Each structure stands twice: as structure tokens, then as C-alpha cells.
Amino acid sequence: MSDKKLDIEFQEAVARVNAHQEPFPADTLLKLYAYYKRATNDYGRPRSREALINAFKTNALFQSKDLTEDEAKEKYIELVTKYFLYRE
């Protein structure tokens, strides 16, 4: 997949997630968080008010540490596609 096509599909997946009104399962949300952070090269620390949530986010980031930016985008797109496939 070309970089431009990957970027477009990634942005569409992000928009779909942002437009979704119902809560995501916690495991899905953590994966989306980690893939998004890797895909956008945002390596800032988790900023939740709850220490436990920050720990889960940090763990999710650690588990995705070996992904490249493009791999993270692909995984994000795959996860969003699967999630909505079974919801519709």
C-alpha cells in the first residue's frame, strides 16, 4: 500500500473512531491508543488523572514498541475494520 493511501485510510479510521458514540471495550481502546501514538510518533507520557489508567496505557505502549509508524497505522486500520465489521 502506498504511503498516501495508508495515510488516507488511517485518517478515515481515526475519524470513524472519533465519531463513534458508544464506549469501546477497554482492551480495544488500549490497543487503539497505543497504535495511534506509535502511528503519529507521539511519545508523550499518558496524561490520565488515574494512575492505574496511566499504567495500562504505558503497558500498551510498551507492547507496541517494536512497531514502525506504518505498521502501527496498518494495525490501527485492521483493528477498526474488525471492530466495526462485527458491530454492524
10-58 pLDDT per residue, tens: 999 999 999 999 999 999 999 999 999 999 998 777 888 889 988 999 9
Classify residue 46 by its DSSP letter.
P
Record: fold of 3-85? Acyl-CoA Binding Protein (1.20.80)
Residues 6+ apart with CB under 8 A from 65: 38
Q: Give the start-to-end residue ranges of the domains of the chain.
A: 3-85
Pair 3, 71: CB distance under 8 Å: no
Query: Of all helices (H) and strands (E), which one includes residue 7?
Result: helix 3-19
Classify residue 1 by its DSSP letter.
-
| Cell numbers placing 81 | 475494520
pTM: 0.91
